[in-house]
Amino acid sequence: MRRYRKVSSFFALKRLLRNIYGSNKAKKGMMALIIYTVKAGDSVYQIAQRYGVSTNDIVTINQLSNPDRLAVGQALIVPVNYFYHTVVAGESLYSISRKYGVPLEEIVAENPSVTNPSRIYPGQNIKIPGERPKLRTIEVNGYAFPNISEMALTESLPSLTYLSIFSYQVREDGSLVPINDTRLINAAKGNAVGPFMVITNIGESGGFDSELASSVLNSSAVQDLLLDNVISVMQNKGYIGLDIDFEYVYPSDRIQYNNFVEKTVNRLRTMGYIITTALAPKVSENQVGLLYEAHDYEAHGRLVDHVILMTYEWGYTFGPPMAVAPIDQVERVLRYAVSVIPSQKILMGMPNYGYDWTLPYQQGSRATVVSNLQAVNLAINNGAQIRFDAKSQAPYFYYYDSSGRRHVVWFDDARSVEARLKLIEKYNLGGASFWTINRLFRTNWVVLNSLYNVKKMG
């Protein structure tokens, strides 16, 4: 059995992750990445040797709990110090050198198969030393519950613009249920991240409450008191913005919800606060359903600073097995959204979990939530092969439990995360929002930072 050296101290780990995640300033020699799909017979050692990297870096980046065991089809991030450029018509090694600011002789040295540097052809892959240039700078929000671990919080904050702390629950009289948010607020500010207060219509039973929302939205006096309480918390705690997450609002309260958002914006914006709302994943203005009808994309997009699109939960707890955020469905939402909302106001939702369904699926049966790391370990422990669905751009696998029941698991890996994050550039969005950052999935941050710079506050 091959032994792997664990990173010996917090400071050593911090140095490694700084290299992995990069920074907002371009720096030659930072890690780039290759996403490698494990094949039968592969080992971490062999993969590391193939790419000339440290086995411990692969283990750390991918959070491998048992590096001696991999699943066929598993996606691994391999940190490298180069990337590939695909030649297009009219390019030369000299123009490619100018494009990336890399000396011509370095590119020639990295490509010994190019015997004549003056003759390259379209479609040819040229190896470029250094980090691939970032697409652009985006804003990134992360939702967190107050009980988030120190490790998950510490590793996530460098890759965030905003930290939305979930949540202050409103009550019918305009009061708020307090939460223990001081630790998270202080940590956010210490990492140039803006803390956001989140208010929800989650009732005493623990679910989103349509009646509760209706009571608030149909009483001007309650709204005034609620906003007084919100402002008091924001001022006392040091929040820089407010996120309104009212879900399952009655369709008959659509106008009232718009009016409440407008009233909130009018009061808070003059005080310098940022206002966001979380919206259900709609594909048309008149989409039917309690989750959708009261969420007015055009009105919210016109009024608030950002809208967070909850582009996930196609695969959900009581639904049939499928990807949580299939890329084709996410794109349907984005195509509609950018037609009625300024694209730079949109933060695309990114789930940070998967589901495990028992088969055969029966309507009303319950799937089990799994973290992305738990999903991979399930595949490894059950000898399952991970497959990748081209249509949804998401990984999945089948396995049998100890009782002989067949299961299917859909989750996220580096391939699916990268595919969806690229939609930010495709649709010129403002950025992304992760639900939630409580489970540390290092892949999210590594892939994010390989594509974009992250805006920081202050």
- C-alpha distances (whole Å) from 245 to each of 199, 235, 271, 346 are 6, 20, 21, 15
Euclidean distance between CA atoms 259 and 264, whole angstroms: 9
User: Can you read off the two tokens belonging to residue 425?
Assistant: 């550039």
Phi, psi (5° rounding) for residue 384?
Answer: -90, 150
- Identified catalytic residue from 131, 139, 155, 247: 247
Cα 135 versus chain centre, distance: 17
Of the candidates 176, 298, 300, the residue with the CA atom closest to the CA atom of residue 231: 176
Residue 150: active-site member = no
Euclidean distance between CA atoms 301 and 413, whole angstroms: 31
Integer Rg of the chain from CA: 24
Residues of 276-293 as b/e, b for ≥16 C-beta within 10 angstroms?
bbbbbbbeeeebeeebbb
Using DSSP, state whether 201 is helix, strand or coil.
coil
Euclidean distance between CA atoms 350 and 165, whole angstroms: 16
Euclidean distance between CA atoms 277 and 345, whole angstroms: 11
275: region left, alpha or beta (phi > 0 left; psi from -120 to 50 alpha): beta
Cα 97 versus chain centre, distance: 33
Contact in structure between 19 and 81 (CB atoms under 8 Å)? no
DSSP H or E run through 399: strand 394-400
User: Can you read off the two tokens belonging to residue 52?
Assistant: 């000339």
Using DSSP, state whether 64 is helix, strand or coil.
coil
Bridge partners (DSSP) of residue 277 are 244, 307
Euclidean distance between CA atoms 5 and 58, whole angstroms: 12
Task: Give the strand pairing for 394-400 and 368-370.
Answer: unpaired
User: Can you read off the two tokens belonging to residue 386?
Assistant: 């991970």
Q: How many CB atoms lie within 10 A of CB 272?
A: 8
Active site residues: 247
